[in-house]
Structure 1
Amino acid sequence: METIRNMFEHLHWSNHRILETLKNMEGENKQVKNLFSHILLAEHVWFTRLKGSDSSKLPIWAEVSLEVCAELVNQNLQNFKEFLSGFSNSDLEQIVLYRNSKGREFQNSVRDILTHVALHGQYHRGQINLLLRANESEPVNVDFVTFRR
């Protein structure tokens, strides 16, 4: 559980750093904002699945404002913080049944879902940094070791 909690603390720290960078950027980079909103929307979808609710109608890709991104950053932080606070190692092995946006049914352990959420966001934050550099902006340091320092 300690590793999972550390991964989610890092996830939230990284989301805040990306959000602050986007707020302070001159102009708007639509691709960057869409990737960031995708990270946040996907986190919300996976949280919904972990809670046993239907996520099949929730958007994973949608154009949202930075204000909505800020709300999602805070909402996702609260949701996962509360969710993880009462969990133990044995709880991680629970199986979650869910349907994707196409209605197809899947099942995964809570551990696998939480690991996916953390890695999924970091993958897309790497893409965001690549786009920032390509547009001559400074990439955001979201390295785990920097977070731990």
Structure 2
Amino acid sequence: MKTILKMYEHLDWANQRILETLQSMEGENQEANRLFSHILFAEKVWITRLQGLDSSRLPIWSSKVDIEVCANLVIQNKKSLTTFLTNISNTDLDKLISYSNSKGQEFKNSVRDILTHVALHGQYHRGQINSRLRADGSEPVNIDYITFVR
């Protein structure tokens, strides 16, 4: 549980750093915003599933997203994840969660595997954002875990 909690502290820290960078840019980087919103929408979907609720009507991707939508999602997701993580124990990590994906296919995964997926999924797409920023002539955001723990 200690490792998962640290991963989620890093997730929030990395989301905050990406958000601040995207908010401070002159002109909008639509692809970076789209990728960032995907991270946040996916977090919301998985949080909803972990809560045992239906996620089928929640978006995963959006073609055009205002950065303020992302800012609100960062706050909402942090609050929801903090509440969820505060209320689970080590034994809850092996509990199976049943859910349907966006195509209606049913799956079961453990809470531990879902939480690990969400943290890794976000880091993957934050890397894509950094690649897009560099391609557009901006400095990538240092979101390395080791930088976070230093």
Shared fold (TM-score greater than 0.5)? yes
CA distance in 2, matches of 1:97, 1:9: 26
1:1-149 aligned at under 5 Å gives the runs: 1-62=1-62, 63-149=64-150
List alignment gaps of at least 5 residues for structure 1: none
Question: What amino acid sits opposite 1:134 in the alignment?
Answer: A
Question: What amino acid sits opposite 1:39 in the alignment?
Answer: I
CA distance in 2, matches of 1:23, 1:49: 29
- Shift of the alpha carbon at 1:89? 1.2
How many residues are aligned here?
149
- Shift of the alpha carbon at 1:55? 0.4
CA distance in 2, matches of 1:86, 1:33: 32
- TM-score normalised per structure 2: 0.98
- Shift of the alpha carbon at 1:31? 0.6
CA distance in 2, matches of 1:20, 1:26: 12
Question: What amino acid sits opposite 1:87 in the alignment?
Answer: I
Question: What amino acid sits opposite 1:147 in the alignment?
Answer: F
- TM-score normalised per structure 1: 0.98
Deviations 1:61-114 (A, max 9, x none): 013211110000000000000100122211100000000111110010000000
CA distance in 1, matches of 2:143, 2:76: 20
List alignment gaps of at least 5 residues for structure 2: none
CA distance in 2, matches of 1:87, 1:109: 13
CA distance in 1, matches of 2:2, 2:65: 33
Deviations 1:18-66 (A, max 9, x none): 0000000111111100000000000000000000001011100013211
Name the Cα RMSD after superposition. Answer: 0.6
